[in-house]
Structure 1
C-alpha cells in the first residue's frame, strides 16, 4: 500500500490524511464564520433579513390568526367557545390544540431536515406547505375537517420557525445579530395588526355568502406568491455549506457578500479576526444532551413549556377574555386591534438597543413585564385601561419573542442547530397543545382573573429559568459559543 510523506520525510498514512482533511475543513468553517462576522452593516445584509422576514410575515399571519377568527368560527357553529369536557374536540380549544400538535410534529420530527438538506430549500417548501393547507382549511364545515387542516398548517409552520431562526443566526454578522432578529420580528409582527384589522372588518360579515373568518384565512394564503421570489433571491447559508463540506459554494457566497459590502459602504472590510471552526461532521441528535449543550437544552425546554402558556395564552384569548367580561364581539375585536397595533413596536424599538444589552436579561425583564401587565389587564374595565394594559403585555411579549428567537439559535453549532432548535421548540408546541385547554378551564372555573393569574405565573417561571441557567452571548461568534 502506498503512502505519502510529510515535510520531514515521515510517512503519512490514510488515517493521518483524513485527520489533516478534517483539520483543514474545520479551519474553513472558522474562516467562513469570521468573514461573515466582519461584514459591516450594509444594504445587502439587511435585504437578506428582509427577504426571509417576508416569508415570516405570512407565517405569523397564520400563527396568530386563532384569536381573531375564533369568534367567527364560533358564530358559524363549527366550534363552540367552551366545553364541559376537558379534551373535547368540539371547542375552540381543540382548534388551538390542533395547531400546536402540528407545530410539535413539524419542529420535533421534521426540524432536522433543515440540517440535512439546507436552509433555503426547506424554508421554501415549508412556506408552500402551510399556505396550501390554510387555503383548504378555509372551506371546512366540520370540527374534524377544520382541526385536521389546522394540524397540517401547524406542521409547515413548525418547520418554518426552526429554519428561519437557524438561517438568520448563520447569515448575519455577530455585531448585528440582535438587531437582525429584531428587524425580522418587526416585519413578521406587522402581520398581526393586518389580520386583526381584516378580522375586525370581515368576521362579523359574510361577503358573497362566505363566512368572514374564511375570507381572512384565504387572504393569508396569498403568501404563496412570494415563494418563488424569495427562493431566487436568498442564497444558502454559507455556514451550513461549510459545515457540510461544500466549502467552494460557501466561499462564492461569502465573497459576493463581501464585494457588495465594500461597494455599498465605500470602505475596505475590517481586519479579519482569527476564529476557531466548528467540527465538520454529520451532527447527531444525542449531542444536544452532551456537554456543553445539556444545560442549555434543559433550560430552553423548561423555558418553552412556560412561555407558550404565557404568550399564546394571552394573545389567543384576548377577544374571548373581553367577551367574557361582557363586551360584544365587534367591540372586543376592536379593542384587540388597538392592542395588537403595538405588536411591531417592541422589535422596532429593539433596533436601537438589541445588541447593546445581554440577551438573557432582556428576556427576564420582558417576561416580568408580561406578568405584571397581565394581572392589571384582568382588572381593567375602562376602554383606555384595557388597551393600555393589553398593549404593555403585547410590548413585553414581542420583545421577549425577538430575544428568544435569537438566543436559542446562538446556543448550538451549525451541524445540529436546526434539530436542536426543533427539539427545544417542540416543548412549546407540546405545552401549546394543552395551554388552550388550561386557559379555557381556568376561564370557565375562575374567570378572566384566574386565567390571567395562570399566565402571570407561567411568565414568572420563564424569567426564573433564564436568569438562573442562561449563558451570556453578547458579542460572541457562533463558533465560540459552539464549544
Structure 2
C-alpha cells in the first residue's frame, strides 16, 4: 500500500492524517484508452447542452406558431433561454455543493438523470408556462453536470494533458450544436414530419443520447483525490491501482515511479464559511479573474447564439437555419480542438488573453458592419469570431477548475458559472430578444449591434484581466497550483505539535 497513515492521529470519527502519492501516480500516467472512457462518459454533457441550446434557437419559428407550436413571441423565446440558464445557475450551485460533499460519481449520475427528466418533459409541452418550467428543470441538470463533471475530469486526467482535454471537452458543446442544427432540418420539414410533432421529437433526441451515456458513465470511478481526503484512502488506493494496471496493459508501457507525496488531515466536509474565506480572502485575484472570464464568455455566447437563428429568420430571410448553425458550430469545435493544445504548450495566460481579446475585437467589427451583412457573410463572421472565442470560453471553465483547492473545486466551478452566467447568460438572451423585437419593428438589423458591442467589451475586458491576473497552471499538478485545505490543516497541526 503506497499511502501511509498515522494511527495515533486517528480521531473518534476514524479520520487520520495521511501521506499519499495518489496525485503523483495519476499525473505520471501515459495517455491510454482508459482516459477516453472518462472523456466519453463525462465529457458528453457539453454535447447535450449544445444540442439543447441549438434546438431551442433553431425552433424559434416552430415554437412561435399558435396552431402547431406554443405561440411564443421573440421576447418569449429569449425568456425561455433565460429561464434555461437560470435553471443552470441554480443547478450548478445546488449540485456543486453536494458534489464536494458526497463525491463526484454520485452527483454526475444524479445530474444526468435530472437532465433526462427535464428534456423528456419538454417534448410534452402544451403551453408557455409549462415550457418555461421544464426548461428550468433541464437547465438544472446541465448546470449540475458542469460542476460535477469538470471537477471529476480534472482530477482523473494527467497534468500534462489537462489543458487540451478540458478545452476540447468544453468545445464538444459544438458537436451537439452541429447535430442539433442538422437534425432539425428534416424534423422541421412539414412534408416529412407533421409540424406539431417535429419540434417535440427534437427535444426527445437529447434523452436518447443521455440514456446511452448513462450506461458508459457507470464505469467511470470516483475521484481518488476526493476519496483520500474524505477518509476513504483504501478505496482510493484500490481505484488507482486498478487504473495503473489498466493503463499499463493498454499502453504496453511500464510505469515510472511516482515523484512526490502530499500530507493531508482528512475531513468529511468543508464548511461554506471556510470555502468563502478561501475564495475571497486567500485567492482574491483568482476570484476576480474567473468572474471576468465567465461573464464575458457567458454574455457573448448566450446573447449571440441563443438568438442567431432568430436573427437569420427575422432579418435575412432564412427559412431553414440548420445548415448555417451547423457551419457555425463546426467552426467552434475546430477552434477548441486545434487551439486547445496551445494552452499546454504556449501557456494559459498568453492563450486566454489572446483568445478573449481577438474574438472581442472581431465581434465589434461585425457590429459595425452589421447593416451590410448577408446571411452567408454574417455566418462567416460568426465562424471566424467563434473559432477563436470557443477556446477562450472553454478556458474559463479550465481556469475555475484548476486554480482553487481541491475541496472547493466543484463549488467554485458552480459559483463562477452561476454568477457569470447570471450576469451574462440571463441578461444576454433577454436583451437580444428585445433588441430583435424593436429592430424588427423598425426593419433595421443594425438595431441589434449594441448587443455585439457589449459582448465585445466584456470579452476584451476578460482578456486584459487574464494578462494581469492569470495563473501559469500548464503542466502542473492540481495540488501545486492550489494547496488543498486539508494539506494546510495537516501543516498547521504539525506546526502546533512542534510548538
Q: TM-score range by the shorter chain?
A: 0.7 to 0.9
Greater Cα shift, 372-381 or 391-400: 372-381
Q: 1:153 & 1:22 partners in 2: Cα distance?
A: 38
Q: 1:354 & 1:46 partners in 2: Cα distance?
A: 20
Match of 2:122 in 1: 137
Counterpart of 2:377 (choices 360, 377, 385) is: 385
Greater Cα shift, 106-115 or 197-206: 197-206
Match of 1:74 in 2: 64
Counterpart of 2:35 (choices 38, 45, 52) is: 45
> Aligned pair 1:416/2:408, yes or no?
yes
Q: 2:62 & 2:358 partners in 1: Cα distance?
A: 31
Match of 1:373 in 2: 362
Counterparts of 1:284-323 in structure 2, within 5 Å, are 284-286=271-273, 287-290=275-278, 291-323=281-313
Q: 1:199 & 1:369 partners in 2: Cα distance?
A: 32
Q: 1:335 & 1:32 partners in 2: Cα distance?
A: 47
Q: 1:71 & 1:461 partners in 2: Cα distance?
A: 35
Match of 1:160 in 2: 145
Counterparts of 1:156-305 in structure 2, within 5 Å, are 156-205=141-190, 207-208=193-194, 210-277=196-263, 280-281=266-267, 282-286=269-273, 287-290=275-278, 291-305=281-295
Provide Cα deviations, 1:427-455, integer angstroms capped at 9, x if missing partner: 12312222212223344366132221222
**How far apart are 1:55 and its partner, in Å?**
4.4
**How far apart are 1:155 and its partner, in Å?**
0.8
Q: Is the 8 A contact 1:321 1:448 kept in 2?
A: no
Provide Cα deviations, 1:81-121, integer angstroms capped at 9, x if missing partner: 445xxxxxxx1121011101101111123311111221112
Counterpart of 1:363 (choices 331, 339, 352) is: 352
Counterparts of 1:94-113 in structure 2, within 5 Å, are 94-113=79-98
Instruction: Name the CA shift for 1:22/1:134 in 2 (closer, same or farther; >3 Å).
Output: closer
Q: Secondary structure at the match of 1:315?
A: helix
Q: 1:385 & 1:13 partners in 2: Cα distance?
A: 69
**How far apart are 1:316 and its partner, in Å?**
1.1
Instruction: Name the CA shift for 1:235/1:13 in 2 (closer, same or farther; >3 Å).
Output: closer
Q: Is the 8 A contact 1:368 1:460 kept in 2?
A: yes
Q: Secondary structure at the match of 2:355?
A: helix
- TM (norm. structure 1) is 0.88
Q: 1:278 & 1:183 partners in 2: Cα distance?
A: 32
Q: 1:13 & 1:197 partners in 2: Cα distance?
A: 60
Q: 1:78 & 1:67 partners in 2: Cα distance?
A: 14
Match of 1:476 in 2: 476
Q: Is the 8 A contact 1:278 1:413 kept in 2?
A: no
**How far apart are 1:17 and its partner, in Å?**
5.5
Q: Is the 8 A contact 1:342 1:395 kept in 2?
A: yes
Q: Is the 8 A contact 2:47 2:176 kept in 1?
A: yes
Q: Secondary structure at the match of 1:65?
A: helix
- TM (norm. structure 2) is 0.85
Show structure 1 runs of 4+ deviating over 6 A.
Answer: none
**How far apart are 1:35 and its partner, in Å?**
0.7
Residue ranges of structure 2 left out of the alignment (5+ in a row): 1-5, 440-445, 484-499
- CA RMSD for the aligned pairs? 2.6
Q: 1:343 & 1:458 partners in 2: Cα distance?
A: 19
Match of 2:464 in 1: 464
Counterpart of 1:441 (choices 434, 438, 443) is: 434
**How far apart are 1:23 and its partner, in Å?**
7.1
Q: Is the 8 A contact 1:50 1:184 kept in 2?
A: no
Instruction: Name the CA shift for 1:207/1:408 in 2 (closer, same or farther; >3 Å).
Output: same
Q: Is the 8 A contact 2:361 2:460 kept in 1?
A: no
Q: 1:304 & 1:459 partners in 2: Cα distance?
A: 9
